[in-house]
Amino acid sequence: MADLKAPLFSADGASIGEVSLDVTVFGLEPNIPVMHQVVTAQMAGARSGSASTKTRAEVRGGGRKPWRQKGLGRARHGSIRAPQWTGGGVAFGPKPRDYGQRTPKKMKRLALRGALSARASESEVKVIDAFDWATPKTKLAKSLLGSIEAGRKILVVLGAGDGVAERSFRNLPNVMTCNTGHLTTYDVLWAETIVFTSQTLGTLSGLEKFDVSEDDFVRESASSAKAEEVKEDSTSESSLPVDDEGGEG
């Protein structure tokens, strides 16, 4: 497989070379059906599901039969709150519900890497060496995006120490920022250009295990994993039977 490259820029937009892209992340053949299913599930999970209508049993009034059953030449009715009446209840109307869909972690991983591979194949992956801006300035961010010839919609993937850069980009229209732990297929496909830093690009390539939620990717930190192991060990020790003399049975 050919070596994938992405242009490397300084924080002021000057070209300083190229960086290699991990082929396991940026060199895959995009799986369109999987990407479609993952994006659909993510958009469904973002729905509030709060739409609600009243049935004929919940609408106020209508307790008395409007007129007698026979003898008037009119259609028979039992309540003025039936669905066919003005002001009546709604038949089969929406009720509050959860639109979330369960998507396997492997599918989310494959969809994200397929989306990143699609942008890499279009030469729309840019890398900034590091953001060394002292103070947040929107003018610096706008100048940088112009210098690297970014597209109309840009996704900037930042690290934990890039707070100044995040505040510099947030006032620009059609620019979205996120960290590597919350990079989603929808965000990548929404953007025309993906901008990484050297740190976030290396972090993304080194991710092997994800703790994936229903709407995004969350990296499982080593400290939390270690803490979980310690917790399990302590639980197994405490479950051992203890004899009357205080020793383990």
Query: Per residue in 184-233, pLDDT tens?
Result: 999 999 999 999 999 888 887 665 443 444 444 333 344 444 445 545 55
* pLDDT confidence of residue 160: 86
CA angle 84, 88, 94 (to 5 degrees): 95
pLDDT at 161 over 50: yes
In a domain, 144, yes or no: yes
Determine contact, residues 133/164, Cβ cutoff 8 Å: yes
In a domain, 223, yes or no: yes
Query: Which pair of structure tokens corresponds to residue 193?
Result: 């250009």
The structure's pTM equals: 0.73
CA distance 108 to 116: 12
* pLDDT confidence of residue 74: 95
Least confident of 100-104, 143-147, 224-228: 224-228
- The predicted model gives 229-242 an average pLDDT of 49
Task: Give CA separation, 60 vs 54, 71, 79, 238, in Å.
Answer: 10, 28, 11, 59
pLDDT at 99 over 60: yes
In a domain, 174, yes or no: yes
In a domain, 150, yes or no: yes
pLDDT at 64 over 60: yes
Domain that holds residue 135: 4-45+103-229
List phi, psi (to 5°) of 38.
-70, -45
In a domain, 76, yes or no: no
Least confident of 18-27, 135-144, 200-209: 200-209
Q: What integer best gives the mean pLDDT of the chain?
A: 84
Of 139, 147, 145, 148, the closest CA to residue 171 belongs to: 139
* pLDDT confidence of residue 175: 94
pLDDT digits (tens, 9 = 90+) for 32-51: 999 999 999 999 999 999 99
* pLDDT confidence of residue 221: 40
In a domain, 148, yes or no: yes
Confidence of residue 54 (pLDDT cuts 50, 70, 90): very high
In a domain, 187, yes or no: yes
* pLDDT confidence of residue 226: 47
Least confident of 51-65, 118-132, 229-243: 229-243
Q: How many domains does the chain have?
A: 1
* pLDDT confidence of residue 234: 52
CA distance 30 to 110: 8
Domain of residue 184, CATH code: 3.40.1370.10
Pairing mode, if any, of strands 210-212 and 217-219?
A: antiparallel
* pLDDT confidence of residue 202: 85
CA distance 148 to 9: 8
Confidence of residue 181 (pLDDT cuts 50, 70, 90): confident
pLDDT at 157 over 90: yes
Least confident of 113-122, 148-157, 201-210: 201-210
